[in-house]
Amino acid sequence: MRAFKESMLKLITETSTNLPPDVRAAIQRAKMRENAGTRAALALSTISDNIRMAEENVSPICQDTGMPTFEIRVPVGVNQIRMKEAIHEAIAEATRLGKLRPNSVDSLTGKNSGDNLGPGIPVIHFEQWEKDEIEVRLILKGGGCENKNIQYSLPCELEGLGRAGRDLDGIRKCILHAVYQAQGQGCSAGFIGVGIGGDRTTGYQLAKEQLFRPVHDVNPNPELAKLEAYIMEAANQLGIGTMGFGGAVTLLGCKIGAINRIPASFFVSVAYNCWAFRRQGVVLDPDTGEIKRWLYTDAPEVEDTPASTTTGLVGEKKGNREITLTTPITEEQIRQLRVGDIVILNGLIHTGRDALHKYLIDHDSPVDLNGGVIYHCGPVMLKDKDGTWEVKAAGPTTSIREEPYQADIIRKFGIRAVIGKGGMGEKTLAALKEHGAVYLNAIGGAAQYYADCITGVEGVDFLEFGIPEAMWHLRVQNFAAIVTMDAHGNSLHKDVEKSALEKLAQFKDPVFV
Ligand SMILES: O=C(O)C[C@H](O)C(=O)O
Ligand code: SF4
């Protein structure tokens, strides 16, 4: 097993940087369904560019390299303790190499371990089998989509759909509701794994196991196969679209499993995975630990069409205004912007996420933020030999987490633009209007695309918060994002959510009786 650690490092690197063909095919099919020039098509083009860049740069597709979750099958007698140790070493090594973001944080102190290790991380499940091979599957599932997982206890009452009973039709309603409640916040278009039954723990576990099935896999249970097909059809009529921008494609895959339950409980557990569906697998020689073959190598052919050749956010496109702004930004410039405008940003921006927002409420900022831009982002950073920071991946994080703080921070520091993804709520919308600021939605998961727009790292504050939570001062050029909340009280997120709820209500009547 001398090659086992090296094989695990390859698996981790490949999973973080190279999306499997079945996932790529699903994204390609989505691209073909959106009309050229729409916001969804622009977002999907950027996503496709990003996928290509990540593979070429051998760098993380998304900066949130997630919770590493290994599912391992071993022949009887293999030393699992040694395997675990080697996986831990490979995880730490992948982190040092910038293939993983240091993502393991002490839940009480907030301290980042720096090497992706710590109690509960990574997740490793072993199972024995009769074969003389080792199979290792890995998912790197990010936090934004994990936050959108949801568990229903039947019977229940669902917004838009009414009563969901303890039957197949009740299950149908829960799954549709799960897609609705995720909106764009889990970086739609997404994939869902559903677990029917079990207890709260095994239900979620089953839901996550479904994510290991290839996208084109057909359920061997005909009833569940029918439900999967139905959900794909119905969920894609909700109009949420890529990044919640509205559009024809909201869901890229749905896989459902069922296990027994005890009479009093009836759980439907849904694991939501973003488009950056990073899962790979390998089969290893049990003596040497060398990779014999890769899993997930096949996918259905998808033909390219002219619609899918739309360029990304910057460049020729119809219908959308494109406005270039350089920081610091004035109130007048901001008041001219409307929902739907594409902003191309140049100048200095500052990252800030959960720890910084909490801090800024009671303290001063180390830099002048007047007319400034806050970027909800926790990048992957590496220090090179002469001590210069290099940005390895830098896409947006889910902004709604900062909703309790954002309005106060905009007012207190005179911020003119907040960049993030998934949109924000009423309190922030009111502050944008009152103060003269905008919310810019960047394309979630497009970490290589945005890293490429960063021309320099001009400093960092609060490194003690850990790399993702620190305040990075970044010089950007041609940083493109879409105005989804403007200074006139308009919010694309509010509109899309309202219309999705109306569409959801059309699925109220029983289908599986
Ligand atoms: O932690 C991040 O960088 C992003 C996170 O996965 C999110 O979707 O909000
Ligand atoms: S930012 Fe989006 S793409 Fe990246 S892990 Fe979070 S949900 Fe997934």
Domain boundaries, the chain: 1-142+279-312, 144-275, 322-497
pLDDT band at 310 (very low <50, low <70, confident <90, very high): low
pTM of the model: 0.96
CATH class, range 322-497: alpha beta
Reported confidence tier of residue 300, pLDDT bands at 50, 70, 90? confident
Ligand 1 nearest atom to the CA of residue 274, by list position = 8
Q: How far apart are CA 181 and CA 495, in angstroms?
A: 14
Any atom of ligand 2 within 6 Å of the Cβ of 64? yes
The confidence score (pLDDT) of residue 67 equals: 98
- Ligand sitting nearest the alpha carbon of 443: 2
Atom of ligand 2 nearest to the CA of 66: 5
Res 308: pLDDT: 46
State the pLDDT confidence band at 93, using cuts at 50, 70 and 90.
very high
The pLDDT confidence band at residue 315, using thresholds 50, 70 and 90, is: low
**DSSP labels for 11-28?**
HHHHHHH---HHHHHHHH
Q: CB under 6 Å to ligand 1: residues?
A: 63-64, 142-144, 187, 378, 397-398
Looking at the predicted structure, is the pLDDT value of residue 317 above 90? no
Q: Calculate how far, in angstroms, residue 185's C-alpha sits from the geometric centre of ligand 1.
A: 10
Best residue among 47, 62, 64, 148 to mutate for probing ligand 1, ranked by most atoms within 8 Å of CB: 64
Over residues 359-408, the pLDDT tens digits come to 999 999 999 999 999 999 999 999 999 999 999 999 999 999 999 999 99
C-alpha of residue 206 to centroid of ligand 2, in Å: 21
pLDDT, residue 313, reads 75
pLDDT tens digits for range 240-288:
999 999 999 999 999 999 999 999 999 999 999 999 999 999 999 999 9
pLDDT of residue 384: 92
Please indicate whether residue 276, judged by its CB atom, sits closer than 6 Å to ligand 2: yes
- For residue 178, pLDDT beyond 70: yes
The DSSP result for 282-321, as a single string, is: EEE-TTT--EEEESS---------GGGG---SSS--SS--
| pLDDT tens figures, 188-211 | 999 999 999 999 999 999 999 999
Alpha helix positions (H), 211-256: 222-235
Question: Which of 16, 63, 139, 274 should be mutated for ligand 1, with most atoms under 8 A from CB?
Answer: 63
Judged by DSSP in three states, 45 sits in helix
Q: What is the mean pLDDT of residues 444-453?
A: 98
Tell how far CA 185 is from the center of its chain: 8
| pLDDT for 320 | 81
CA 486 to chain centre: 24
Query: DSSP alpha helices (H): ranges in 97-219?
Result: 143-146, 168-182, 200-210
CA 421 to ligand 1 center in whole angstroms: 9
Q: Is the pLDDT of residue 316 over 60?
A: no
- Per-residue pLDDT, 26: 98
* Dist CA 90 CA 93 (whole Å): 5
CA of 81 to the centre of ligand 2 (A): 31
- The residue to mutate among 187, 351, 376, having the most atoms of ligand 2 within 8 angstroms of its beta carbon, is 187
Distance 279 CA to ligand 2 centre (A): 14
Predicted local distance difference test score (pLDDT) of residue 318: 61
| Residues in Cβ contact with 79 at an 8 Å cutoff, skipping those fewer than 6 apart | 1
Residue located nearest, by CA, to atom 7 of ligand 1: 144
Lowest mean pLDDT among 213-217, 299-303, 350-354: 299-303
> Tokens standing for 201?
């723990």
Q: Is the CB of 274 under 6 A from ligand 2?
A: yes
Span 476-493, average pLDDT: 98
* pLDDT tops 50 at residue 233: yes
Question: Which amino acid residue places its CA nearest to atom 1 of ligand 1?
Answer: 64
Mean pLDDT of the chain: 96
Give the percent of the chain with pLDDT over 70.
97
Give the Å distance between the CA of 144 and the centre of ligand 1.
5
pLDDT confidence of 24, banded at 50, 70, 90?
very high
Q: How confident is the model at residue 294 (pLDDT cuts 50, 70, 90)?
A: very high
Between 63 and 320, residue with greater pLDDT: 63
Find the DSSP H helices in 436-509. Answer: 447-451, 492-505
CA of 64, closest atom in ligand 2: 5
User: Which amino acid is it at 322?
Assistant: E
Q: How far is the CA of 473 from the centre of ligand 2 (A)?
A: 22
In angstroms, the first-to-last Cα distance of the chain is 53
pLDDT grade for 319, boundaries at 50, 70 and 90: confident
Residue 307 has pLDDT above 60, yes or no: no
Among protein residues, the one whose CA lies closest to atom 4 of ligand 2: 445
The stretch 150-175 carries a mean pLDDT of 98
Q: Answer for the pair 214, 22: CB distance below 8 angstroms, yes or no.
A: yes
Beta carbon of 422 within 6 Å of any ligand 2 atom: no
Q: What is the pLDDT of residues 327-369, one digit of tens each?
A: 999 999 999 999 999 999 999 999 999 999 999 999 999 999 9
CA-proximal residue: ligand 1, atom 4 (nearest) = 397
From the CA of 190, the nearest ligand is 2
Place of tokens 């959108």: 148
Please state the rounded mean pLDDT for residues 108-127.
98
Residue 264 alpha carbon to ligand 1 centre in Å? 36
Q: How far is the CA of 142 from the centre of ligand 1 (A)?
A: 6
Mean pLDDT of 415-424: 98
CA of 48 to the centre of ligand 1 (A): 19
